[in-house]
Structure 1
Amino acid sequence: MNDLDALLAAANPVAAADLPHGPRQEALLRSIIDEPARPSPARIRTRLRWTLPAIAAAMAITAVLWHVLVPQSIPEQRYVTSGPAHRVLLVAAERADQTGTKRFWHDKGEVGQLLRRDHDGHRYTLLVTFPTETWVPRDPIDGDSVHASDLGKVRIQPVSAADAEAYRKDGSPGPDENPRAGITVPDPPDGPDLAGDRIFEGDRARLPADPAELRMTMLTWIRDHGGLPAHPDAWLFREATKLLDSPGRTPSPTVRGALYRMLAGLPGVRNLGTVRDPLGRPSVGVVLRERTPALGTIDWQFLFSPSSDFVMATRAVVVRPGATNRELPAGATQYLTVKQTAGWTDRPPKHRLPGARR
């Protein structure tokens, strides 16, 4: 068995009950195990009934052991060491190194996603947005982190004039848990969830400050918790931007700097230059393009402040639709996050955080 065969066997263990067992297989097996002194037919049938499941069980056990003892190898990376995107991300890394922390991280923003509705012959696309607010104490004595998404303040906006007309003819429905009575607003996808990949849930407090070690740590974690993603660089791009988007949960300045440096070394990251964020503010943008069967070709955009390491927005822009978003036009922003205000503060929230001891 060559290495590829072994990997395929490990990924596809076959249960004994799944193996074909008929006259042809029985005859073939007889020709392999027959002895010069042939036993009676009844004895042959008994032996075959026991031998086939035993062989299959041994193969399945071997495949499982191979998978356990020989895990997927972390792919080597071709590090990028120059270029416009590399330069702007290194500048952001240096700013992150110098960012101090205070008692609380506080941010307010919005999450938006496109929603396609087909109801009573009316088809239209809506942009659904709702506000978010996060409080993260640096010290557990100040309480537990709170991340609130106010579904009671959902805004619904047709994307185009044609969508607005179809929406009006459908009765301009508002948010409602009953899809017959209104618009069912799903919970927002959590960054990489949109692409179907598992999100990084490792111990952020133990992330290394070296970008190469950081990459290895994150990929090892995802490998050991469900397997490597189909596109590791795209997964790292999305997960790193998500970690940077929440400094309260990744408070170490050196780790934030390492995240920016890891992004700077990823192949495929392009510089967008100075672009406007969803609120019209100037920002520095970088992007990584990914091709998937479900989402088609997607540009994952990361927009940050020209003067600090503050993350202003993230966007998933459809370049070419796939199986799950075929109704969306090219250029549509399928998913976005935007921060209106964000920063470290010593001023506590109006109401004490859950679990606060001072």
Structure 2
Amino acid sequence: MNPIDELRAARPAHLGDAPVDTRTRTRELSNAMSKPRSARLPRRGAARPLWSFGLVGAAAVTAVAVVAVAVSGSGGTPPRAPEPAPASTSTVRLSARDILLAAAEKADRQPAGTGAYWHTVSVRRTLFPAVGAGYLVMDRQRSEGWTPRATGGDQWGSAKPLGARPATAADEQAWKRAGSPAEIQVSVPGKSRPMTLSTTPGRTQTGHSPLTDGDKVFWLGRNVTMKDLLGLPSDSAELKAWLLRSYDGHDTESADEPMPADMWLFDVSVGLITDMPVTPQVRGAAFRMLAGLDTVDVIEGVTDAEGRQGSAVAIEEHTKGSGVVERRLIFDQATGRALGNESVVVKPGGRQTALPAGTVWSSQAVLEAGWTDHKPSS
């Protein structure tokens, strides 16, 4: 079985054949924390392409059957904040508008770059409770993707499991008392069977796949082409109107889950800012659009999962289980570049009950995003 088939075979059955981008995956993670997954919304238009970067993050995790419902809490798990990056107790909340407008100006000045492929590298970290062991496990996956500028070509992606490990020093002690197992069974909310994670890094799997319909590369409220992305309006009001044409009052996955427009715009904009091949001016417009949302806040002094310092534009999401999760887009104020995104427990509830406020239960760190003329060999 070649690598692309292995990745597809590892994909959980309930997700169907069409892959899902990173932003939608984060929504799925949040849903899994609060309730069993509802039926997926029937696809509108083209199936989502397989190897765009936003999707490579998902493909990388599915390579070890982790991507479907990554969460950090379930009943019986001791309340401990995980490594690597709990919410900082010394953060200061400032005016979102001023900081985001400054970030927009910096983003505008970034070079556009050229190349035949849009290339991205990211690392996703997700928490799981070890079955019957009383400790948390951090699973880590590295994803790399190459999306062609020209239509009719193939998207390429690679996925490498970096190995699971105990989330904190206390978790490590509990893991050692359990015999330091090289393979750890973990609970997955909404699943009747546990999943096995390996503490040993796995081999890199590389594959490629034709673009859906020959030209669809990313999901931005709907399936879009490279031409769509490169032609997005650089005016914040026009960009907001363009995006909202795909908004139907519910979240990105299920018509049964209402979602306010601000939350939906934030959800979609995270991907646009972090890992899509848009112009610097469009990225700046996205920051300005977020600055105009009354429901977003800005937190300074945030440390991402890679240990990098930045600021975060954040929005709170209320779950059906009475919990509250803060969704964060972390960026470098000095450059306007996105560092990644994370989800933080604000108010434990539902399946987050065992996790204290401040727990970072899922994160994606963007290590590279830019144009290149190089792609991996088959």
TM-score (norm 2): 0.58
- AA aligned opposite 2:276: P
Question: 1:86 aligned to 2:111?
Answer: no
Q: C-alpha deviations, 1:140-175, integer Å up to 9, x for none?
A: 37x43334332xx23212123442233334444445
Among 333, 339, 362, the residue aligned to 1:306: 333
Percent identity of paired positions between Structure 1 and Structure 2: 29
- Residues 13-32 of structure 1: pairs in structure 2 closer than 5 A: none
* Cα separation, partners in 2 of 1:113 and 1:254, compared to 1, 3 Å: same
* Cα separation, partners in 2 of 1:314 and 1:262, compared to 1, 3 Å: same
Specify the alignment match of 2:222 in structure 1: 201
Q: C-alpha deviations, 1:212-257, integer Å up to 9, x for none?
A: 3333333331318865833321221122012211133xx2334322
Specify the alignment match of 2:370 in structure 1: 343
Q: C-alpha deviations, 1:88-137, integer Å up to 9, x for none?
A: 22223233334313113322220011112223xx2221111111112223
Specify the alignment match of 1:246 in structure 2: 275
Question: 1:264 aligned to 2:278?
Answer: no
Specify the alignment match of 2:171 in structure 1: 163
Secondary structure of residue in 2 paired with 1:278: coil
Given that 1:229 and 1:235 are in contact with CA atoms closer than 8 Å, whether structure 2 keeps it comes out as no
Given that 2:131 and 2:194 are in contact with CA atoms closer than 8 Å, whether structure 1 keeps it comes out as no
Instruction: Give distance in 1, aligned partners of 2:224 and 2:286.
Output: 15
* Cα separation, partners in 2 of 1:285 and 1:171, compared to 1, 3 Å: same
Question: 1:212 aligned to 2:237?
Answer: yes
Which ranges of 4 or more aligned residues in structure 1 deviate by more than 6 Å?
A: 176-181
- AA aligned opposite 1:286: V
Deviates more, 1:278-287 or 1:296-305: 278-287
- AA aligned opposite 1:203: V
Instruction: Give distance in 1, aligned partners of 2:113 and 2:322.
Output: 38
- Residues 218-237 of structure 1: pairs in structure 2 closer than 5 A: 218-223=243-248, 227=255, 229-237=258-266
Secondary structure of residue in 1 paired with 2:248: helix
- AA aligned opposite 2:236: P
Specify the alignment match of 1:125 in structure 2: 136
Secondary structure of residue in 1 paired with 2:144: strand
Question: 1:100 aligned to 2:100?
Answer: no
Query: Structure 1: which 5+ residue stretches go unaligned?
Result: 1-82, 186-197, 353-358
Question: 1:182 aligned to 2:182?
Answer: no
- AA aligned opposite 2:155: S
Question: 1:318 aligned to 2:331?
Answer: no
Q: CA deviation at 1:177?
A: 9.1
- AA aligned opposite 1:238: D
Q: CA deviation at 1:277?
A: 2.2
- AA aligned opposite 2:118: W
Q: CA deviation at 1:298?
A: 1.1
Given that 1:131 and 1:149 are in contact with CA atoms closer than 8 Å, whether structure 2 keeps it comes out as yes
What is the CA RMSD across the aligned residues, in angstroms? 3.2
Question: 1:282 aligned to 2:294?
Answer: no
Given that 2:247 and 2:261 are in contact with CA atoms closer than 8 Å, whether structure 1 keeps it comes out as no
Given that 1:116 and 1:327 are in contact with CA atoms closer than 8 Å, whether structure 2 keeps it comes out as no
Larger radius of gyration: 1
Secondary structure of residue in 1 paired with 2:358: coil
The structure with more helix, counted as a fraction of residues: 1
Given that 2:130 and 2:185 are in contact with CA atoms closer than 8 Å, whether structure 1 keeps it comes out as no
Q: How many residues align?
A: 250
* Cα separation, partners in 2 of 1:229 and 1:211, compared to 1, 3 Å: farther
Instruction: Give distance in 1, aligned partners of 2:196 and 2:248.
Output: 41
Query: Structure 2: which 5+ residue stretches go unaligned?
Result: 1-93, 187-192, 200-218
Given that 2:247 and 2:264 are in contact with CA atoms closer than 8 Å, whether structure 1 keeps it comes out as no
Instruction: Give distance in 2, aligned partners of 1:146 and 1:213.
Output: 32
